[in-house]
Structure 1
Amino acid sequence: MSFEALAPLAQQRPLRILLVNAGEADAISWAGLVQPLRLAAAALGRDVLHLETMSPTQVVLAQPGWHIALLVADEQQAPLAPELIRAVIERCRSADYWGGVGAGVLWLAAAGAMAGVRIALPWSLYAETESFSERAVLTPNLFALDGRHFSCCGGAASIDFSLTLVEALFGATVQANIKESLCVERVRGHDERQRVALQARFGALQPRLSEAVTLMETNLEEPLSTDDIANLVGLSRRQLERLFKQYLGSLPSRYYLELRLQRARQLLLETNHSIVQVGLMCGFSSGSHFSTAFGALFGNTPREERQRKLAPPA
């Protein structure tokens, strides 16, 4: 779901955002999320953006009425008591949009609050998802919006998530000013993946899934078919599709296509290969197919992406 869906919230005055800190005040997941929003609140004024920060015990006693509510904790944080998590959920779910960041995503999903929802979870916590993996859909992306539910893998991705919220709610100019204040050059999109090898995410948990993705990553120029990949890792096509759906929230063919397009985007921005060469290097024999698929995923054409590299800095 696109963050453009948040546009109607920007008309609220004031827009009330609640951040529940269940970890340390200096943890990067918290600091990366709260600092851009604090700068936005200072620039826009309290009558436009009212940012509230609370502990879990404070939010249980607070009066609801937030438009966005997020439970935040670093991945190393010990979980809250189950009854406290349930109480926090009851308060937060009254918001128009709500969810978690870092370990907060895991706690919400484990409590059953993310049933059927695509969630962005820190890769280091994947091994703890077995109890609810059939109730929530893991996505390897940095952050996600699915229906009313936010999720962010935390860490440095909290900065990207927070700045994406700022742009969606208050516009590109406000975001640009905050980026300049924080010396942030580029905001990563929600569709970008956590840059950690799949083997590191799953370890021995799903070796055949890791093997399948490795085959994809090493065969971008001449893509394999889903049936070929399934045979090579010793699974049926249906078994492979089930693994991808359960752990990556996607079909193998879609995941493979996105890998190739992510690589193409990287080549467009970081090399001088022609657009045709980039397409061929990523398994697209047809220029029109490459352009259409690229536009469907990223919202612009390969030529427009290349122009970003060539454009002088603002």
Structure 2
Amino acid sequence: MPSDKPRRFTFLLVDRFTMLPFAAAIEPLRLANRASGATLFEWRLVGPLGQHATCSNGARILLDGGLDNDQPAGRDDVVIVCGGTEIAREASKPVLNWLRRQARGGASVGAVCTGAWVLAEAGLLDGRKATIHWENHDGFAEAFPEVDLFRSVFVHDGNRLTAAGGTSSIDLMLHLIAEAHGDQLAAEVADQMLHTAIRTDQDRQRLSIPTRIGVRHPRLSAVITRMEANLEDPISPAQLAADAGMSTRQLERLFRRYLNRSPKRYYMETRLSRARNLLMQTEMSIIEVALASGFSSPSHFSKCYRAQYGSTPYRERGTGAVQKGGTAEA
């Protein structure tokens, strides 16, 4: 039953937060107030620096306050961490302690974009369902195995809320608006935002494979799906072809025709992409990254990586390219 008291949201803007998911989270609240003719929601902005926060595009946002003297959120409040690039750097002791204090006070705690990394560092997602931007999924899964990670656009698990980034914040907020004040108000807000397809927690983050590769061929899509699901233990082209009901030569022609590369080359590029994400987002050793990407030999992994990216895994680590937490910009 809706409460007469406005529900308060506190947005924690860490340095280099991403603008789009933050704006997509706060605007539905404003539009809900406007559409209803009442103050259903209130919000404030806080951050470690206290005066302003700089987002990844260089813009600065004025804050309502810092963390030092900030009062804990109430039981009906919602605290949202807005993440962005190089997120692990922002999981400082003051930030983690502040988040734990909000959670102890009974507030719902959530995150958009890479903010889930900070929640996980604080131990607030242990044993919980959560999501994070697809680009950071592999690194997060390796760093926080105690979190039940999903690839959906948002996850609502009790008093824990996570949205993957980009426009997924809209869907999470519409979900909360509908839950508190009905589907009609949520639909009115969606219409105001020209958000014509409200997604649920069952919708996945990335485009379907046919849309992503620009090809609607069921057998090709099925093979690529199997490849993406088996990066750590690659399946041979012959087996992929047999399982798809075609010969190896037919599979080869299919990939050449639509993707201008062999199945082996496509599979290799996909595995190397995963390896690069793990290198950039985790502190896994080179051999652990190699094994997680389907390479049994570190030397072969290094050779293939250099051919693809122009640098060896060791050199990228040595030049400080590793940023645990990743660099998602959505």
Q: Which bracket does the TM-score occupy, shorter chain normalised?
A: 0.5 to 0.7
Partner of 1:111: 122
Partner of 1:145: 156
When Rg is computed on C-alpha atoms for both structures, the one with the higher figure is 2
Residue identity (%): 22
Question: Structure 2: any 5+ residue segments left out of the alignment?
Answer: 51-65, 210-222, 245-330
- In structure 2, relative to structure 1, the CA distance for the partners of 1:179 and 1:131 (3 Å cut) is closer
Partners of 1:75 and 1:158 lie apart in 2 by: 17
Partners of 1:137 and 1:69 lie apart in 2 by: 20
Structure 1 residues 228-274: Cα deviation after superposition (integer angstroms, max 9, x where no partner)? xxxxxxxxxxxxxxxxxxxxxxxxxxxxxxxxxxxxxxxxxxxxxxx
Partner of 1:173: 184
Answering whether residue 71 of structure 2 is matched by residue 63 of structure 1, we say yes
Q: Select 1:207's aligned residue among 213, 231, 235.
A: 231
Structure 1 residues 96-154: Cα deviation after superposition (integer angstroms, max 9, x where no partner)? 42121111101111332211111111111123225543211111111111122111111
Q: Select 1:163's aligned residue among 161, 174, 178.
A: 174
Structure 1 residues 151-204: Cα deviation after superposition (integer angstroms, max 9, x where no partner)? 11111211111222211122222222222221111111111111157999xx99
Partner of 2:146: 135
- In structure 2, relative to structure 1, the CA distance for the partners of 1:12 and 1:197 (3 Å cut) is same
Partners of 2:109 and 2:233 lie apart in 1 by: 31
Mapped contact 1:79–1:107 kept (Cα < 8 A): no
Partner of 1:15: 7
Partners of 1:204 and 1:181 lie apart in 2 by: 37
Partner of 1:182: 193
Mapped contact 1:68–1:98 kept (Cα < 8 A): yes
Question: With CA pairs under 8 Å and 6+ residues apart, which has the higher RCO, 1 or 2?
Answer: 2
Partner of 1:53: 45
Mapped contact 1:75–1:122 kept (Cα < 8 A): no
Question: TM-score when scaled to structure 1?
Answer: 0.56
Structure with more helix by fraction: 1
Mapped contact 2:67–2:95 kept (Cα < 8 A): no
Q: How does 1:1-314 map to 2 (within 5 A)?
A: 10-11=2-3, 13-23=5-15, 27-44=19-36, 47-56=39-48, 57=50, 58-64=66-72, 65=74, 67-75=77-85, 77=87, 79-93=89-103, 94-129=105-140, 132-195=143-206, 207-208=231-232
Partners of 1:76 and 1:171 lie apart in 2 by: 37
Query: Once the 2 structures are TM-superposed, how far is the Cα of residue 85 of structure 1 from its aligned partner?
Result: 2.4
Partners of 1:131 and 1:15 lie apart in 2 by: 35
Mapped contact 1:144–1:150 kept (Cα < 8 A): yes
Partners of 1:158 and 1:209 lie apart in 2 by: 34
With 123-132 and 31-40 compared, the bigger mean Cα shift is at 123-132
Query: Once the 2 structures are TM-superposed, how far is the Cα of residue 88 of structure 1 from its aligned partner?
Result: 2.8
- In structure 2, relative to structure 1, the CA distance for the partners of 1:209 and 1:148 (3 Å cut) is farther
Number of residue pairs the alignment of both structures matches:
206
- In structure 2, relative to structure 1, the CA distance for the partners of 1:135 and 1:37 (3 Å cut) is same
Question: TM-score when scaled to structure 2?
Answer: 0.53
With 125-134 and 187-196 compared, the bigger mean Cα shift is at 125-134
